[in-house]
Amino acid sequence: MGERIYLDWNATAPLRPEARAAMIAALDQVGNPSSVHNEGRAARRLIEEARERLAALVGAEPRNVVFTSGGTEANTMALTPALETPERKSGFDRLMVSAVEHASVRAGGGFRSHHVEEIPVTTEGLTDLQALERRLAELQQQGARFPLVSIMAANNETGVVQPVEAAAALVHAGGGLLHVDAVQVVGRIPFDINRSGADLVTISAHKLGGPQGVGALIKRSADLHLAEPLLRGGGQERGARAGTENVAGIAGFGAAAAAAGATLAADGERMRSLRDRLEAALANGPTVVFGRDAERLPNTSLFAAPGLRAETALINLDLEGFAVSSGSACSSGKVAASHVLAAMGVPPDLGSGAIRVSIGPATRENEIDLFLKAWMKLLAALSKRQSGLAA
Ligand code: PLP
């Protein structure tokens, strides 16, 4: 196989060298972090150091970080009717999620499906705040007590950044709590849990250069209590998540978070300029970029050319050495029209042709140029086929 060009960082980011080194060191640390002996305490220290690093990246208190097996588990853990605050002990009775959430949020966690409803998005992919406000007011009038709302910080397919702060203000005024899936944001652009107003935040290690299979649910306040944990048993993670911790994975997560945080601003600027270079070239042809006019992550571009099928593009690009994705890679293997583009009102014909390029701090300018060359070749073949058909 020739040299590969990896442009699928939103699916998973390459492991950072700092994370690899921390994991290898942790694998050699014998000891159960719950054991009181010297070895156990050393393993515990690795976890606590990682907890501090993650908390620092999002401006949280370390005691409010709960380690999980990934973003999916953290989302599922957050979406429970059994959330307790000092003011309310009696369960949440409604879950509202934006129409463009990840499948693990759309699944509704511990809520019954008839208690889960969708908040629409605009044609640019932004959560419709007026619809949210209206619905919260209706729920209050109908006597529904406590809504839990889940809105992602940025979408994994389009990169569109959601109006989380404004949503938090509405949700709190409506007597609810806000969960934010920040899996695609943390480690890419600045995110501060206090500024965001989110009550609960999900993050995942493998999107920021840590290992797969580790994540965290972070609470803004220690007063918020998960009364019915998903996993019960040994009382680890202050009772919020039982099971011996994945020490090496957590150590890698912490190291990746620290490394991402150290170069966040410079990496963001570099990625934005590469992404803009890509899109400026795409604008010369028939390619449509989704969510183009909205604020987006600096590393993500989702686009389609009318008539070009995603399967055809993916297979050809893969053969040419490029790893890209069609919409959401979490459900990859099968290319279906994405619920995200459908929610934005993109016609199915165009939406099912969407290709996502997502880059990272290590992406080079010539990789973008090579990709553009391959894309133009695909468009030229398409136009030849189309003029052959027309003849
Ligand atoms: N949330 C978003 C927005 C994602 O993009 C993903 C993964 O692609 C997840 C959650 C799930 O995270 P994990 O793969 O760690 O379970």
Together in a domain, 100 and 209: yes
Question: Which one of 211, 244, 261 terminates a domain?
Answer: 261
From residue 373, how far is each of 322, 354, 366 by CA, in Å?
11, 18, 10
Task: Please tell me the pTM assigned to this model.
Answer: 0.96
pLDDT score of 328: 46
334 — pLDDT class (breaks 50, 70, 90): low
Average pLDDT over residues 12-37: 97
Model confidence over 210-229: pLDDT tens digits? Answer: 999 999 999 999 999 999 99
**Residue 212 Cα: closest atom of ligand 1:** 15
Together in a domain, 156 and 287: no
Average pLDDT over residues 327-337: 54
Together in a domain, 186 and 252: yes
From residue 250, how far is each of 41, 212, 213, 229 by CA, in Å?
15, 10, 9, 20
What is the CATH classification number for the domain harbouring 294?
A: 3.90.1150.10
Together in a domain, 119 and 38: yes
Mention every residue, 6+ apart, whose C-beta is less than 8 A from residue 141.
Answer: none
**pLDDT at residue 379 tops 70:** yes
> Which range has the worst mean pLDDT, 74-88, 318-332, 335-349?
318-332
In whole angstroms, what is the distance from residue 368 CA to residue 353 CA? 20
Together in a domain, 89 and 234: yes
Name the residue with tokens 């010539």: 366
Active site residues: 330
Together in a domain, 345 and 201: no
Model confidence over 305-327: pLDDT tens digits? Answer: 999 999 999 999 999 999 999 86
Together in a domain, 210 and 87: yes
Nearest-CA residue for ligand 1 atom 12 is 71
Question: Which one of 261, 278, 313 terminates a domain?
Answer: 261
**Residue 204 Cα: closest atom of ligand 1:** 15
CB 163, CB 122: distance < 8 Å: no
**Residue 155 Cα: closest atom of ligand 1:** 3
Together in a domain, 351 and 378: yes
The domain tally of the chain equals 2
* Ligand 1 centroid, distance to 28 Cα (angstroms): 29
Question: Which one of 223, 239, 261 terminates a domain?
Answer: 261
Query: Exposure of 365 by Cβ count < 10 A (0-12 exposed, 13-18 middle, 19+ buried)?
Result: exposed
330 — pLDDT class (breaks 50, 70, 90): very low
Task: Kindly state the DSSP code that residue 121 receives in the 8-state scheme.
Answer: B
Together in a domain, 359 and 255: no
Together in a domain, 63 and 173: yes
With a Cβ cut-off of 6 Å, ligand 1 is lined by 70-72, 75, 102, 104, 152, 156, 181, 183-184, 204, 206, 215, 330
HSE at residue 211, side-chain half, CA atoms within 13 A, is 20
Together in a domain, 251 and 269: no
In whole angstroms, what is the distance from residue 269 CA to residue 99 CA? 29
Q: Where in the sequence is the domain holding 309, given as residue range(s)?
A: 5-14+264-390
Together in a domain, 101 and 231: yes
Nearest-CA residue for ligand 1 atom 14 is 71
Return the best residue to mutate from 9, 100, 102, 188 for the ligand 1 pocket (most ligand atoms within 8 A of CB): 102
Q: How many Å is the Cα radius of gyration of the chain?
A: 22
What is the CATH classification number for the domain harbouring 34?
A: 3.40.640.10
Average pLDDT over residues 248-269: 98
Model confidence over 186-211: pLDDT tens digits? Answer: 999 999 999 999 999 999 999 999 99
